[in-house]
Amino acid sequence: MDDKSRQTRVERMVSLVVGRVLALASKDPAPDVIIVVLPQDVRDGCRAPRSRGPKKVFVPPHIKFQRETEAEAEKVGQMMLFDSGAVVEEEDEEHEPLYLDFHNALKARAMRGRVPIQLIWEPTLKGTRSKEDRATIAWNIVTALLYKAGNIPWQLREPDPRTCFLGISFFKDGRTNDSRASLAQAFAQTGEGFVLKGESATWDPLERQAHLSESGAERTLKRVLDDYEDRFHDRPTRVVVHKTSRYSVGELAGFRRALDGVHTHDFLALGDRGIRFMRLGHEPPLRGTVIELGKRNYLVYTVGYVPSVRAYPGMRVPIPLEIIEHHGDSDSERVCREVLALTKLNWNNCRLATRDPITIAFSKKVASIVREFGSSDPPEHKYRFFM
- Give pLDDT, residue 115: 97
Q: Is 133 helix (H, G, I), strand (E, B) or coil?
A: coil
- Give pLDDT, residue 250: 96
Query: In terms of CATH architecture, what is 163-385?
Result: 2-Layer Sandwich (3.30)
338-361 confidence digits (pLDDT tens): 999 999 988 888 888 889 999 998
Q: Are 188 and 198 in contact (CB under 8 A)?
A: no
**CA dist list (Å): 151 to 148, 221, 338:** 7, 27, 22
Burial of 286 (0-12, 13-18, 19+ CB in 10 A): middle
Handedness of CA 108, 163, 347, 211 (dihedral sign): positive
- Give pLDDT, residue 5: 79
Handedness of CA 339, 345, 350, 356 (dihedral sign): negative
* Domain definitions of the chain by residue range: 3-148, 163-385
Residue of 54, 93, 85, 55 whose CA lies nearest to 172: 93
What is the rounded distance in angstroms from the CA atom of residue 221 to the CA atom of residue 224?
A: 5
What is the rounded distance in angstroms from the CA atom of residue 122 to the CA atom of residue 107?
A: 18
Q: Are 33 and 148 in contact (CB under 8 A)?
A: yes
pTM over the 0.75 mark: yes
Beta bridge partner(s), residue 266 = 240, 328
Reply yes or no: is the peptide bond before residue 29 cis, omega within 30 of 0: yes
Averages of pLDDT over each 10 residues, the chain, 387 residues: 75 94 96 95 77 47 50 48 37 42 91 95 81 86 93 81 89 65 84 86 84 94 93 90 94 95 94 85 92 92 92 87 95 94 88 90 86 84 91
Q: How many CB atoms are closer than 10 A to CB 384?
A: 20
Q: Which residue pairs from 258-263 have beta carbons closer than 8 angstroms and sit at least 24 positions apart in sequence? A: 258/217, 258/218, 258/219, 258/220, 258/221, 258/222, 258/225, 259/221, 260/222, 260/225, 261/235, 262/225, 262/235, 262/236, 262/237, 262/238, 263/237, 263/238
